[in-house]
């Protein structure tokens, strides 16, 4: 990302220069309203920045057209407010595969395997809008990874979940990263979660990337005073 600016009523995000590396797990932390969701939406090409450019594998993403859609299809996002379609669990998970024109047997194979992984096989024909919070979130993640994106963007995937579901989802994310080498960017305002699963942490405050570094370094020896204040829970905002 180069020279990114996003302005709504005021400037909400400014990223001068940032590179994400393949195969990594990034934790994005920061107070609410800092611009974390906006950051993910810009990476996912859902929101266009007012200026600046995004480069994927060194190539600039065009503003629209088929090439942009093709790039968008190599990543996937789970939103802060998850929306499952009013359809069966099965059809939800199959959505991205159908959008990409996978054939029936391949869709069947992948959906079955994923539902197994997230422990939802028995509920595959249930309406997705009748699931509990934890079940819904597991389905949302299964849906987002069914087509094996190269980059998975998660916006507070475990907010409002019970510890058991939190652990399941964290394990899933780590496993997806290690077994399918999916790059993960996970936004969380739970700094302990960032500590547990991220290998690198990006700290955003008031639309600025204050600091980015190895997880251990950010938590034990932050370079910025602001970062130290935030990870030690002393930040006033």
Partner 1 sequence: MSSLFEGIIEAFRLIISLDPDLLQIVFLSLRISGTALIIGSILGIPLGTYLGLKPEKKTRLINKVIFTLMGTPPVVVGLIIYLLISRMGPLGVLGLLYTPWAMILAQVSLATPIIAGLTMVGVRAKGSEVVETARSLGAGPGLAAWTVVRESRIAILGAVITGFGRIIAEVGAVMIVGGNIAGKTRVMTTAIVLETRRGNFELAIGLGLILLILAFFVNSFLYNIQRGDSGN
Q: Which residues bind ligand ADP (CB under 6 A)?
A: 8, 12, 30, 32-38
Q: Does 99 bind partner 1 (CB under 8 A)?
A: yes
Q: Does 188 bind Mg ion (CB under 5 A)?
A: no
Q: Minimal distance in Å, beta carbon 96 to partner 1?
A: 4
Token code pair at residue 38: 């906006």
Among 29, 34, 37, 107, contact with Mg ion (rule: CB under 5 A): 37
Among 144, 154, 184, 197, contact with partner 1 (rule: CB under 8 A): 144
Helices (H), the chain: 36-43, 66-72, 89-99, 104-117, 133-145, 163-179, 191-197, 215-220, 225-231
User: Contact, 8 vs 48, CB < 8 A?
Assistant: no
End-to-end CA distance of the chain: 27
Alpha-carbon distance of 107 to 125, in angstroms, equals 15
Q: Minimal distance in Å, beta carbon 31 to ligand ADP?
A: 7
Q: Which of residues 73-102 bind Mg ion (CB under 5 A)?
A: 80
User: Contact, 200 vs 212, CB < 8 A?
Assistant: yes
Backbone angles phi and psi of 70, in degrees to 5: -60, -40
Alpha-carbon distance of 126 to 146, in angstroms, equals 19
For the window 64-83, what string marks contact with partner 1 as x by the rule CB under 8 A?
-----x--xx--xx-x-x-x
Report the residue number, 136 or 210, with the smaller CB distance to partner 1: 136
Q: Does 39 bind partner 1 (CB under 8 A)?
A: no
Binding footprint of partner 1 on the chain (CB under 8 A): 44, 46, 69, 72-73, 76-77, 79, 81, 83, 85-87, 95-96, 99-100, 127, 129-130, 143-144, 147
Binding footprint of Mg ion on the chain (CB under 5 A): 37, 80
């Amino acid at each position: 990302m180069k020279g990114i600016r996003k302005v709504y009523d005021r400037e909400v995000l400014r990223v001068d220069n940032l590179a994400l590396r393949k195969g990594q797990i990034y934790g994005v932390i920061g107070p609410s309203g800092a611009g974390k969701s906006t950051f993910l939406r810009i990476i996912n090409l859902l929101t266009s920045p007012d200026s600046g450019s995004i480069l994927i594998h060194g190539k600039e993403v065009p503003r629209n057209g088929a090439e942009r859609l093709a790039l968008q299809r190599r990543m996937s996002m789970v939103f802060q407010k998850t929306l499952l379609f009013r359809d069966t669990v099965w059809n939800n998970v199959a959505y991205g595969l159908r959008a990409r024109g996978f054939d029936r047997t391949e869709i069947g194979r992948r959906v079955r395997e994923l539902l197994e992984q997230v422990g939802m096989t028995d509920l595959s024909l249930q309406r997705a809008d009748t699931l509990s919070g934890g079940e819904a979130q597991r389905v949302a993640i299964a849906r987002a990874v069914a087509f094996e994106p190269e980059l998975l963007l998660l916006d507070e995937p475990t907010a409002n979940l019970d510890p058991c579901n939190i652990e399941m989802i964290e394990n899933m994310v780590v496993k997806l990263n290690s077994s399918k080498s999916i790059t993960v960017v996970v936004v969380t305002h739970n700094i302990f979660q960032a500590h547990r699963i991220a290998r690198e942490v990006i700290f955003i405050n008031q639309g600025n990337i204050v600091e980015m570094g190895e997880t251990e370094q950010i938590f034990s020896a932050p370079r910025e005073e602001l970062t130290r204040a935030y990870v030690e829970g002393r930040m006033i905002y």
